[in-house]
Every structure is written in C-alpha cells, then in structure tokens.
Amino acid sequence: MSETNDDPQVELVVDGRPLPLAPFVRQIIAATVFGLVGALKGGENAREIRLALRRGDPASR
C-alpha cells in the first residue's frame, strides 16, 4: 500500500487479530493520533507513531 496524506497506513490489532479498516476510519485514526502527538514537545514532526493500549486488570479495580 502506498502512503499518501489521503491514505495513511494504519493497522489496528485487537487481542492479536488485525481488524479491517475503511479508508475513512484510517484517516480519522491517523489525524487524531498525529494531531495529539504533534501537540507534544518532540512530536511536532512525527512520521511514524507506534501506540499500544491495554486495559488494566478488571479484578484490580
């Protein structure tokens, strides 16, 4: 897949399984994450971002 501003490369993996994403969803995720990171000191010119999210242990709540 070629990377352009209109077609960002976004991969969403949930519990080890990749989820298919429509182009609109890829664009929304990319714009949101790049916007948030771009507002951070040192993140202004980010070209690649890796983000992993994990829920805390529900038993510990």
Q: Which residue bears the tokens 């298919």?
A: 20
Rg (CA), the chain: 14
Backbone angles phi, psi at 14, to 5 degrees: -115, 120
User: Tens of pLDDT along the chain (61 residues)?
Assistant: 444 556 789 999 999 999 999 999 999 999 999 999 999 999 999 999 999 999 988 776 5
Backbone angles phi, psi at 30, to 5 degrees: -60, -45
pTM over 0.85: no
* Contacts of 11 by beta carbon, 8 Å cutoff, 6+ apart: 18
